[in-house]
A and B are shown apart, each in its own frame.
Chain A
Amino acid sequence: MTKEAILGAIRRGLKRGPLPADQQAMLEGRLATHPRHLIPARSRLPRPDQVALFIRNVEKEFGTVERVPDLAAVPAALADYLATQNLPPRFALAPHPEFEAIPWAERPLLDFERRRAQATDQVSVQHGWAGIAETGTLMLPSSPHRPTTLNLLVETEVVVLRASAIVGAYEEAWDRLRAESQDAVSGGFMPRNIMFVTGPSRSADIEQTLELGAHGPRRLHIILVDDDPAALPPGDAVAPPRTAEPGGLAPPGD
């Protein structure tokens, strides 16, 4: 059998047979305890600075961020963003229970369907599960409430993320997933798919020059809901809106 042939060849190379039981137990222990390695110090900051680092890193990678005080402010922020970008107020919305609490009726022009994305969709609104300050990265595990296609098929992806869901390093996000998630099929914690997204899609395949908007979204906009009082900037109830400075490279869209 091929599997036995490959394992046999590996063991011949290592000059041993199958691992003895005690060594197997040791390796199983390493898998079960999954020890952390060195984590870069850059994200070990007080909460307000951690959130600021997240925003800075998103903008460095040509994403945009707007802070709003609560979920009730999302419809207005979204409607204004779409209008500023000359985009239609029509979008596919992640069918996430948290979004039920959003007062969409306050902006009756917003026209949406709760579903996965289709090829003709221009805009999606996705639910952010975690933000990682170290590199300005969104963590988006798939689920019936968070379809993967919302991250891929549209020109513009808007992600609604709670500030309390921002962590410093990837390892903190994995630990939260291990604690909170239960997969019905495997019994483990991994869903079918987890996308870590850092800025909008891009390619440098033409003369090693970076251009935004390859096969995925051209624009990535984050509406950051300030649900974490400890993460607010000191002496500031709501931070001023920020815009990206693409710094010499092609800006998103037109």
Chain B
Amino acid sequence: MVAITSPAFKENAARALADPGLQKALGTAKGAFLQRRAAAVANLPEFEQLRNTGRDIKNHTLANLDFYLEAYEAKVKAAGGQVHWCSTADDARAAVLEICRKAGARTVTKGKSMISEELGINAHLEAHGIRPVETDLGEYILQLRQEHPSHIIAPAFHLNREDWEADFRRLHTDLPADRVFAERRDILAEARGKLREKFLAADVGITGANFLIAETGSSVIVTNEGNGDLTQTLPRVHIALASIEKVVPTLEDACNMLRLLARSATGQDFSVYTTFSTGARRPGDLDGPEEYHVILVDNGRSNMIGTEFQEMLRCIRCAACMNHCPVYGAVGGHAYGWVYPGPMGSVLTPSLVGIDKTAMLPNASTFCGKCESVCPVKIPLPKLMRHWREREFERHLTPATQRTNLGLWAWFARRPAAYRWATRAAIGALGLLGRGKGAFRSLPLAGGWTGGRDLPAPEPGGTFMARYAKAQREARR
């Protein structure tokens, strides 16, 4: 697995806020996905009903997950494919390596896959002398830069055009040094040329899977570039990596999910390539892999079933939640410190790697609720983050000052008379202090607030409760 820096979320976030390159990239990207999604949704009157159906399909599948996984496996076998069940990341890495070794693989091309990041497939292959080559444009430059994705569908979300040009010049040294990148298209064309050789030379192609279909034993990938299809078509062996919750029962169920996925992700009605793979090359076929393997990974998901976090397993990885998240928009994906950033990551990461290392993540939210309102399968992300905050508190992972203050607040909250008295006193004192000033630029113990904005001074007239009680009394008269 990739190293985790989630415990340092505060430091990561501070560094991200002070990084001019990152802030520029976030500023450029801001709004693009939002506007496209909004336009695509506005163009489909049935979208809300599709969301409800999507939620129900996933709930039905999870409630019968054992049945559908076995049905899926039987169909894969019937089509000449193999399913490798893997409980842990170690199991999955070993299974991938064994297949590559049997194939005598020297290079492996890869389609974009978040589960591959979660499992740390690249490092494992490299350690055993096999060269993995990322072929998604964003993943390709991140591999050159030795970085990890900062977004689950746009991995190079944190980079600017200048970064692309500089890295290509630095690393593609066989090309003329004085070549001109007049447009973004020229960067794309250079990557296309470089990667074409890799596609043709690879012995094994590894992709992820957006869905698995129990009815037919198919794995589905959804892409725009075509790199995933080249990866799973040209090499002699195709390996699809998929976690257990990717399965849906039928092609009709998949259609409903696909109508949600592209609109929620990139704001397209349908992605350019939606491809169903079922087994290996058939007799008479002129192309396609001769071996088809599915690595079916649990890696902590089955532990979520039957808990309050089961709903998270509905996630179809569209990234709408992070695209609409004010915290993600301010600090980017790397600050979250592991594979999955944004609201979905703040729920999923603690489930997969433990709350002890990730307690900061469910706190990295303003609870504005936008993530839940755009989620295509209606995952109540704020509620699930709140569950993690409760567990964090129960397990004494919260910092001591925060615990003390929460305890103090709880004492007052359970004693309404004391609470009203204390707030009246505080408001009165602040009102007196702030008279004539209108607002405070700094206050003792409130530096976190006043560091970024002023605190308005309370106006005369008392607390909300006092005013409310007064209004009630007058109304009764």
Q: By the criterion CB–CB under 8 Å, are A185 and B282 in contact?
A: yes
Q: Cβ of B363 < 8 Å from any Cβ of A? A: no
Q: How far is the CB of A16 from chain B (nearest CB, A)?
A: 9
User: Count the A-B residue pairs with Cβ separation under 8 angstroms: how many?
Assistant: 288
Q: By the criterion CB–CB under 8 Å, are A192 and B277 in contact?
A: yes
Q: How far is the CB of B367 from chain A (nearest CB, A)?
A: 27
Q: Cβ of B110 < 8 Å from any Cβ of A? A: no
Q: Cβ of A67 < 8 Å from any Cβ of B? A: no
* Chain A proximity mask over B275-313: 1 for CB below 8 Å, otherwise 0: 111111111111110000000101000111111001000
* Chain A proximity mask over B20-60: 1 for CB below 8 Å, otherwise 0: 00000100110011000000000011100110010001000
Interface hits, B87-139 → A, CB 8 Å: 87, 91, 135-138
Q: Cβ of B358 < 8 Å from any Cβ of A? A: no
* Chain A proximity mask over B156-181: 1 for CB below 8 Å, otherwise 0: 11011100100000000000000000
Interface hits, B237-252 → A, CB 8 Å: 244, 249-252
Q: A190-B216, A192-B278, A208-B32 are in contact. Are A201 and B272 (CB under 8 A)?
A: yes
Q: Cβ of A186 < 8 Å from any Cβ of B? A: yes
CB contacts (< 8 Å) of A192 on chain B: these are 79, 277-282, 285, 288
Q: How far is the CB of A217 from chain B (nearest CB, A)?
A: 8
CB contacts (< 8 Å) of B275 on chain A: these are 193-196
CA–CA, A185 and B290, complex, Å: 13
8 Å CB contact of B78 from A38, A137, A187? A187
In the complex, identify which listed stretch (A103-111, A121-129, A147-155, A228-236) lies at the interface while the others stay far away. A147-155
CA–CA, A171 and B251, complex, Å: 8
CA–CA, A40 and B41, complex, Å: 12
In the complex, identify which listed stretch (B189-197, B341-349, B373-381) lies at the interface while the others stay far away. B189-197
CB contacts (< 8 Å) of A201 on chain B: these are 224-226, 272-273
Q: How far is the CB of A70 from chain B (nearest CB, A)?
A: 28
Q: By the criterion CB–CB under 8 Å, are B305 and A10 in contact?
A: yes
Contacts from A to B (Cβ < 8 Å): 1-3, 5-7, 9-15, 18-19, 23-24, 27-28, 30-31, 34-38, 40-42, 57, 61, 95, 115-116, 119, 134-135, 137, 142-144, 147-149, 151-153, 169-171, 174, 183-209, 211, 213-217, 250
Task: Report, nearest first, the 9 A-B pairs whose CB atoms are least far apart.
Answer: A216-B226, A13-B305, A13-B306, A214-B225, A9-B302, A205-B138, A144-B284, A34-B250, A116-B286
